[in-house]
Structure 1
Amino acid sequence: MTEALDEWSEFNVAMVGATAALAGLLIVAMSVNIGTILKSATLPARAAVGIATLVLAIAVTGLALAPEQPSAVYGGVVLVLTLLVGGFQVHAIRVIRADSSEHHGTPAQQLAKSIVGTLPLGLYLAGAIALLAGAVVVGLWLLAVATILAIAAAILYSWVVLIEVLR
């Protein structure tokens, strides 16, 4: 797997650096309004899933830079980390749906909102399974797409948190 990962090293270096910088900026932005965020029923869960998703992207791309890593080990670690972040996602969905003060839209709109956060996690899971099955190239491509979507989803969650603070 080392050769396959070597081909992705520039991508992973760029993603881990950019994602870590973004995570730092979002944590600072949220900490300015932490009192207001904590008073909300849903904002802490949204903030947590946004940050957890960014940490997952950092971990997946950072661990890809580790030398001489067997694909099964990398796939197993990605699988475990994704399941952990999936717990944050499930918690956020439950908290948001349980909040009676928010209008959640039609069932189709609710599904679309849930897909935003779960799609990257599904791709991380698929990539991890592909790596565990020995389909290294497919697995690495799935992880790359998942990372980009995870960053986009985390930005969206964080944007909602920061906008809701100002309402």
Structure 2
Amino acid sequence: MDISDWSELFVAAAGASAALAGLIIVAMSVNVDVIVASPSMPSRAGATISVLVLATLISIVALIPGLSVSATGWVILVIALAGTVLPLESAVRLVRDKVSSPLAKSAVLVIPTLAMVVGGVVLVTGDAAGLYWVVAGIVLGFVGTVLNAWVVLIELRR
């Protein structure tokens, strides 16, 4: 399997995640007072944006021509590990603030980032099948960020 066979998918993922990140940043800026007033919402908002930025960066890395599978894996692994920081920090805050169902609420962003980490690890071994993990993480990240954006933008206003 050749990484270049995945280029159209990663072009679409990069564009979609960058557009979603921009839209969510603008939408959150309108509600920043409400978001900041809630103890766990600022970290959820930050984690939401960070997962979209992570998806954008990983998609761009996957498009770099001439990188070996292993080299692509190393770069994705480093970016994905860095990208787990805010979702994990948000999960800790949800537990510490005794929010109802903290594991379920944090899983929507932690699981996608961990899938991207696993994909990076598999790619480092030279196995291009790690791209399936990366793409699963990106797709799950889209779902999780849309769910979190809904909570941060709509549920706070109820």
User: What interval of TM-score do these two structures reach, taking the shorter chain for normalisation?
Assistant: over 0.9
TM-score by length of 1: 0.88
Q: Which has the higher contact order (CA 8 A, sep 6+)?
A: 1
Q: Does 1:162 align with 2:149?
A: no
Aligned to 1:133: 125
Q: Does 1:11 align with 2:9?
A: yes
**Does the 8 Å contact 2:112/2:141 carry over to 1?**
yes
> d(CA) in 1 for partners of 2:37 and 2:61?
36
Which has the larger displacement, 51-60 or 36-45?
A: 36-45
Q: Does 1:145 align with 2:155?
A: no
TM-score by length of 2: 0.92
Cα shift at 1:31 = 0.5
Amino acid in structure 1 at the alignment position of 2:140: L
Aligned to 2:57: 59
Aligned residues: 158
> d(CA) in 2 for partners of 1:67 and 1:164?
43
Cα shift at 1:96 = 1.4
> d(CA) in 2 for partners of 1:117 and 1:33?
21
**Does the 8 Å contact 1:33/1:165 carry over to 2?**
no
What's the CA shift string for 1:95-140, capped at 9, x where partnerless? 112224x4x14xxxx433333222212211111011111111x111
**Structure 2 stretches of 5 or more lacking a match?**
none
Aligned to 1:37: 35
Root-mean-square deviation (CA, aligned residues, Å) is: 1.5
**Structure 1 stretches of 5 or more lacking a match?**
none
What fraction of aligned residue pairs are identical, expressed as a percent? 37
Aligned to 2:97: 99
Which has the larger displacement, 91-100 or 20-29?
A: 91-100
SS of the residue corresponding to residue 84 of structure 2 reads helix
Greater Rg by CA: 1
> d(CA) in 1 for partners of 2:57 and 2:15?
11
1:47 to 37, 45, 48: 45
Which has the larger displacement, 114-123 or 48-57?
A: 114-123
Q: In structure 2, do the counterparts of structure 1 residues 91 and 127 end up closer, same or farther at CA, with 3 Å as the change threshold?
A: same
Amino acid in structure 2 at the alignment position of 1:133: T
**Does the 8 Å contact 1:26/1:158 carry over to 2?**
yes
